[in-house]
Amino acid sequence: MAHIFITGSSDGLGLRSAQTLAKRGHEVYLHARNSQRTQDARAACPGAKDVFVADLTSTEETKALAAQLNQAGPWDSVVHNAGLMNGVDHLRGKEGIPARFAVNTLAPYILTCLLDPPPKRYVFLSSIMHQGGDPSLRNLQHCTYSDSKLHNIMLAFWFARRLASKGVLSNALNPGWVPTKMGGWSAPDDIDAAIDNYVLLSEGTGEAEGVTGKYWFQSRLGTYKSAANDEGRQNQLIEALEKVSGISPP
């Protein structure tokens, strides 16, 4: 039985994966951004142990979430699933940071830096759309969705190197273009295959056992944009996120 936390798990793939993991006997903790979504999450996944509430567009709320997670830990797996895609170009969080950047890129960085002790496994949600991402990191805070999904792979790979000495595994997951509210109900990929991949990496079993610094699609190693391997760019991203958040890497 594993102790698992999934961000953005009040609906969509995060919720579906949490339901599956709970049915498999794991202690699963959900995350929602407000009280209404918390109620919805509890009703949809009664097998979950609890729901943490935090608006990830706010760096202060993200830091507070990390403190709560440290009190509830240690964790076996943390899945950075939360993400914003459309309709948020002009939305900013409480501290004035663009919402998509705050949720998709900055929040995973902050949580990964502040969790102590770190979990055994981190999973960073990416997307096939990362192929259109700009590896130059120009206009970082005004990133597109594609940019942010490339950032997620870079973060997974950087933390895989950084935390290797502590025995922590860190991987990126492309769930595919699946029928959800975000993906659209006519999306062609297999949602059950996506959930199986969440489960595989959350449990760290089978093909994923002992594997770190990889990009996964449908429970197999996938093909990704080679620029994500650039350690210089990864370092540049980490330095920029440290500057924005005021939080140093572990």
Query: Around Cβ 180, how many Cβ atoms within 10 Å?
Result: 18
What is the identity of the amino acid at 3?
H
Question: CA-CA distance, 144 to 195, in Å (whole number)?
Answer: 25
DSSP-H helix ranges across 49-190: 59-72, 99-101, 107-114, 145-162
Q: What are phi and psi of 12, to 5 degrees?
A: 65, -150
Q: Which two tokens stand for residue 39?
A: 């109620």
User: Which of the 8 DSSP states describes residue 38?
Assistant: H
- 63 a catalytic residue: no
Neighbouring residues of 55: CB distance < 8 A, sequence distance ≥ 6: 33, 34, 61, 93, 94
Task: Give me the DSSP letters along 181-216.
Answer: TTT-TT--S-HHHHHHHHHHHHHT-GGGTT--S-EE
Given 63, 149, 214, 225, the catalytic residue? 149
Query: Pick the catalytic residue: 145, 198, 215, 224?
Result: 145
Residue in the structure block whose two tokens are 């959930």: 195
Q: Tell me which residue has tokens 């140093």.
A: 248
Is 94 a catalytic site residue? no
Residues 23-60 as b or e (16 or more Cβ within 10 Å = b)? eeebbbbbbbbeeebbebbeebbeebeebbbbbbbbbe
Give the residue numbers annotated as catalytic, written as ranges.
145, 149
